[in-house]
Structure 1
């Protein structure tokens, strides 16, 4: 049943408790001062099983996974790795709301999970916090790793051709977008609503967090609008300028316009060069007639390009509203790629609406107009030209250097982490139950001669 599949993904711990007869729990390993329980292993095993994930030798692999996580969490605490509790809280709230939508009510969620919403919240918060600590420790461990072109060539020199990674189909695109605009009356309505909220909060008539939960159109609404401690460069300039100019706790700012819409900001606290604020985001509504007007205009532009009246390059430079591509003659740049700029996209890296359009185009063809999410929470109208399609192929140094470099980088990171685990085992107190000593562990250092 679909609901059981969803449940196995969302509530592995609950399924483990409710789907199996109760076992007698015991400590099977201690890493540092952290115990690993038999129930921990069983819960993970059942979670993998419910998801259809096959784990070879689960009673060896799973306790070892948990033990390695304990090592990294301990290292994260030594390294003073910071986690953003506000972001975690917002993530937990979003997940719980998703569960409630999937199951229809809070009561259904609690029934299927076998625990209260507050217990689920506590479990999720603990799990996400540990994941953040592990990731932070691993980033610290691998941040100094660099890969040179010579190392890439050397790494792949003797690898058989059929062992090289497959590179999926990639495309290069030019895009011309136009952003629909709200009426002046709608803009004034939104601004006045925000000004009214600010007046009421500053007068003590209501709380900012309650208003954020009720009205904000940002994901932070579930967390009362709180964004957590953030550096100046992590927000768009207009928002950052106001947020970092505020000093009076709980005071609410004037209305701030950004590319995302209109905001009011409440200052909470400053720590060094970071501040924590709440905000409310409202986006003016766009009339359907405005979308229809732009779609017709873009179809007209596309027809003129096909008729040779002007090029897509010239049209994008003169008419596109997208600042990221306009001055590049509409050419899209793949910002998801690490440490490099490339105009190539895998189809899976494109917004869904754009991928569907591109899939039907021939090289050099200009699409009909369509609507898409611009990645900033706004729906825009667009036409696109397929400049190039690179079919699926085996990676080669000429065309796919960055992909091969990423493979080498990942290999170097794995080597560094592997070496670190082996050394960390030597300096960490580890005690293992005699019945578990003869498991087929990857790292033999769990079993010490003492």
Structure 2
């Protein structure tokens, strides 16, 4: 039997899986179809390319489940987190990343590793021999998707994901817009000014909503019946749910004061977040869209401060495929019908960069242990990674399975004896319990003692 691990896909999950396995001493071959075969969303052939937001979301490891996931990954020697930290951008309490240098650094680290080989080729079938991880992400090639569906005995599920536009910073009118993070979050002045805010009056907001709802949009093709993931809804879909929806979502005006007009509270605020270290590019926060390109320029040009904005990238929409993991995968993330193949990342039904990478981390470790004749114990379900892997391998209802971000609702409840506890206390109980369990699982506590 081959002692090498083959990984299909060099995104967040595939890159992390390769790093974990190679670090454990197992030879790895990454099969990545880019740049030979392109996709709708990718622009380069780099590994771990960020195609949507440049944010890993909250980095608070005491009060936030995704921040806890960051902590667990860092503790496990995650390459993705190491490179994210090395290419971090000011973003208040969030972990935002300078996307191109980040991907280039991940690529360089993996290509230079003596146990890692990167092959630029498309894999179109599920191999029957050897050890494999499928980490092809939301844009799995059509032939491989068909092979997966055939092997699983059912169609893959699918939903549609949207991408937010990116603006050239020097084309934003700063006589109208201003720099400030919500509630002035951030430890430094650079972090507290990492966001650019564009204010709207009520009339401007109403006109913007009307134009957006009337704009030409990309629609599903005939026979496509998939829905959207709630965590990444197109902005016009949110608006269709109610005219005020955006004011309580990405356009909420709270925690901000316009220095150009400090006595008047904006009715709504459009925020832009720094997208690269140079500060030359900003993405419009929460503005994933399915509007056609021409309509985007017209509608987004109605935003005060963006009247003359130049776009480095307009928004878009793409099909996002994932499998019904609770019915198809065992507790080791192996395909039940073909256990030489593991799945990892977004194709398993986790949503988000960090969630995808974390499932790659586990799959890489599990595969490496198996190749070396060992077996990893189950990941404690009270940890962030344990909660995710439990969810996708049997914890979720298969009939209603949908992509999921990490959240405390996936964790076993904490012991709340002593009366009702405040949210901050409960969340700290979750994270303290998780850190102890994760440290034990990694074997770090015994080593430290």
Shared fold (TM-score, shorter chain, > 0.5): no
Larger radius of gyration: 1
Greater helix share, 1 or 2?
A: 1
